[in-house]
Amino acid sequence: MEYSPLQIARYKYEPKLPAILRKPISSIVTKEGKATAPAVHQDAIKALFPNTYGLPKISFEAGENTEIGTKRNVGVILSGGQAPGGHNVISGLFDAMKAANPENKLIGFKGGPSGILEDDFVEITGEYLDKFRNTGGFDIIGSGRTKLETEEQFSICAQTCRKHDISAIVIIGGDDSNTNAAVLAEYFLRTKAGIQVIGCPKTIDGDLKNESIEISFGFDTATKTYSELIGNIERDANSAKKYWHFIKLMGRSASHITLECALETQPNICLISEEIEKNGTSLSEVVQQIADVVAQRAADGNNFGVILVPEGLVEFIPEVKTLISELNDLLAKEAVAYGTLSDFERQSAFIISHLTAKSANVFSVLPEGIQKQLLMDRDPHGNVQVSRIETDKLLIEMVDKRLSQMKQAGKFVGKFSGLNHFFGYEGRCAFPSNFDADYCYSLGYNAFMLIAGGLSGYLSSVTNLGKPADQWKAGGIPITMMMNMEHRHGELKPVIKKALVELDGAPFTYFKEHRDQWARHTCFTYPGAIQYFGPAEVCDRTTMTLALELKR
């Protein structure tokens, strides 16, 4: 097989590590910090996690580590959606294991958590790993969305580990995956299985973050990839001067991706779901806000522009959020009766007759295409599959209609032609930026150091990320300290709380201070492609979001 020159060059890239992890591996030891506790629901979480609650934060320091050379077999699982850098987490984990003892074995469970349940695996060797180093994707072992959450599943995991003499598992995933990691760690400790569990924070959505998880891996690369594409479209828009581009971006529960891309590219309009929900902005008001900007720019002779829309926007608009909630409940309770209806006309009539009057009215005024998308098959949690709802097309259609009304009233004198785009999969498996290549490698190396320290129920943590890599701080935090209790399927369950865009945070504050200027004037910026070679200020820089957060 022939590889591209860039691919060959990236194979040879040597990721940078925090200074403490550059020392000989036998001269690094764990250091315990203060005991931890979640911000809320302490009693409930303590009752569910008696063995992993209140554990201390961990850092590393120089010292003689006499246990590091103990032979260990470690299992690794990629869980959930892809994110750039997953291969480097595994690379860092592998290299640390081999530095500690060349006889250590890394077992990669294939296809996500189902791999350990089905005992489907591959031993990751140096030769096998070399063609995946510093590359995007999860194809080294594949991923999956099977959840590890039942006693039966935990028992099977223990059996699989005993079969292969595995003493630790590293789960690379997002908030749900690491919640499952915490529950699995608690089970292994309660049953004295002798198996450790360490998590690594992965999600391009950027909603797995706190003071010890400054950024989830993949967010840097994904947003830079999307920003390049947005910049290209902005340049085209400013060249053609005749289209309004509505660009939907990944991020169902939080608008971090959309906000970061706005900071990088300065579009005319950027909708932030969290702000819309806080202000109680209706769908009609969102449409009017967009129409007003289009009209203002048209008055200046600019019949073009760019609008960024977060994927999960519709769930944050109050009346649509209520509608979706009612639909989820209705289609769960009336699944049998609804399942007998074969055509959309009868399905629509059934839905409208069972909704509250307000939600029935909202459903009725939506375009038929959006109505059908709201009634598609639910996700594994029983919820509307928001990524399938073409919010960008919905807004184009409704803005076009509103502008026609404004033109009749003499309030709009320009032209409007809307084009829609969805950037999602383009960024999930992109070649990792230098930042993500370094960060992910450090997370994997760090994960083994936590294993070597005899720890379980911890998340690999690397902080001080606004500084050069040699100044990064390596350590671990108990997963239980990030948890709260939320209603899931009618029951209170422990979950890692999603981090939403903070409307008083530095990134949104900066955006808010500049968006009126960006709206009326053409202030587009063009980030260009991710750079891998050249000055550190170009190649190793992180996101504007992180830079603004760490500056405060």
For residues 189 and 224, membership in a common domain is answered with no
pLDDT of 63 reads 97
Q: How far apart are CA 293 and CA 295, in angstroms?
A: 5
Q: Of the candidates 496, 526, 542, which is a domain's last residue?
A: 496
User: Residue 212 CA to chain centroid, in angstroms?
Assistant: 16
For the chain, the domain total comes to 2
For residues 290 and 410, membership in a common domain is answered with yes
Tell me the whole-structure pTM to 2 decimals.
0.94
CB 8 within 8 A of CB 39: no
C-alpha distances in Å from residue 146, one per residue of 35, 40, 112, 113, 459: 32, 28, 7, 6, 20
- Torsional class of 200: left (φ above 0), alpha (ψ -120 to 50), beta (otherwise): beta
Q: Of the candidates 454, 472, 496, which is a domain's last residue?
A: 496
For residues 342 and 462, membership in a common domain is answered with no
In a domain, 342, yes or no: yes
What CATH number does residue 21 fall under?
3.40.50.450
For residues 406 and 259, membership in a common domain is answered with yes
For residues 474 and 547, membership in a common domain is answered with no
For residues 212 and 235, membership in a common domain is answered with no
Looking up tokens 């079969």 gives: 163
Q: How far apart are CA 178 and CA 510, in angstroms?
A: 32
For residues 247 and 330, membership in a common domain is answered with yes
Residues 6 or more apart in contact with residue 491 via CB below 8 angstroms: none
pLDDT in tens, the chain (552 residues): 788 999 999 999 999 999 999 999 999 999 999 999 999 999 999 999 999 999 999 999 999 999 999 999 999 999 999 999 999 999 999 999 999 999 999 999 999 999 999 999 999 999 999 999 999 999 999 999 999 989 999 999 999 999 999 999 999 999 999 999 999 999 999 999 999 999 999 999 999 999 899 999 999 999 999 999 999 999 999 999 999 999 999 988 899 999 999 999 999 999 999 999 999 999 999 999 999 999 999 999 999 999 999 998 988 999 998 998 899 889 888 889 988 988 899 999 999 999 999 999 999 988 888 888 888 866 666 677 777 788 999 999 999 999 999 999 999 999 999 999 999 999 999 999 999 999 999 999 999 999 999 999 999 999 999 999 999 999 999 999 999 998 876 688 999 989 999 999 999 999 999 999 999 999 999 999 999 999 999 999 999 999 999 985
For residues 305 and 177, membership in a common domain is answered with no
The DSSP letter of residue 282 is -
Q: How far apart are CA 53 and CA 107, in angstroms?
A: 28
pLDDT of 328 reads 86
In a domain, 398, yes or no: yes
Looking up tokens 């506790």 gives: 37
Residues 6 or more apart in contact with residue 80 via CB below 8 angstroms: 112, 143, 145, 173, 174, 176, 177, 202, 203
In a domain, 273, yes or no: yes
In a domain, 5, yes or no: no
Q: Which of 95, 176, 205, 438 is catalytic?
A: 205
Query: Can you give 292-309 as a three-state secondary structure string?
Result: HHHHHHHHCCCCCEEEEE
C-alpha distances in Å from residue 176, one per residue of 147, 252, 482, 488: 8, 14, 12, 12
pLDDT of 373 reads 86
For residues 405 and 279, membership in a common domain is answered with yes
Q: How far apart are CA 288 and CA 262, in angstroms?
A: 21
pLDDT per residue as tens digits for the range 381-397: 667 777 778 899 999 99
| Phi and psi torsions of 181, nearest 5° | -60, -40
In a domain, 337, yes or no: yes
What CATH number does residue 344 fall under?
3.40.50.460
User: Residue 299 CA to chain centroid, in angstroms?
Assistant: 39
The DSSP letter of residue 19 is G
| Domain enclosing residue 402, as ranges | 219-428+505-551
For residues 260 and 208, membership in a common domain is answered with no
SS3 for 218? coil
In a domain, 9, yes or no: no
Helices and strands in the chain: count of H runs, count of E runs: 22, 15
Active site residue 205: yes
For residues 407 and 477, membership in a common domain is answered with no
Q: Dihedral of CA 462/465/469/470: which sign?
A: negative
How many CB atoms within 10 Å of residue 124? 22
Q: Do the bridges between strand 56-62 and strand 105-109 make them parallel or antiparallel, or are there none, so unpaired?
A: unpaired
Query: Structure tokens of 498?
Result: 């999603």
**Run of H or E including 269:** strand 269-270
Q: Of the candidates 458, 479, 496, which is a domain's last residue?
A: 496
How many CB atoms within 10 Å of residue 522? 17
C-alpha distances in Å from residue 266, one per residue of 64, 103, 492: 51, 52, 41
SS3 for 473? strand
In a domain, 7, yes or no: no
Task: Walk across the sheet containing 28-35 and list its strands.
Answer: 28-35, 56-62, 473-478, 458-463, 196-201, 166-173, 73-78, 105-109, 121-124
pLDDT of 382 reads 63
Q: Which residues are 420's β-sheet partners?
A: 246
pLDDT of 551 reads 85
Query: Structure tokens of 321?
Result: 């959020």
pLDDT of 491 reads 81
Q: Do the bridges between strand 121-124 and strand 105-109 make them parallel or antiparallel, or are there none, so unpaired?
A: antiparallel
CB 247 within 8 A of CB 306: yes
For residues 196 and 228, membership in a common domain is answered with no
Q: How far apart are CA 119 and CA 121, in angstroms?
A: 6
Q: Which residues are 202's β-sheet partners?
A: 217
pLDDT of 431 reads 94
In a domain, 184, yes or no: yes
**Run of H or E including 353:** helix 344-354
Task: Walk across the sheet containing 244-249 and list its strands.
Answer: 269-270, 305-310, 244-249, 418-423
pLDDT per residue as tens digits for the range 389-444: 889 999 999 999 999 999 999 999 999 999 999 999 999 999 999 999 999 999 99
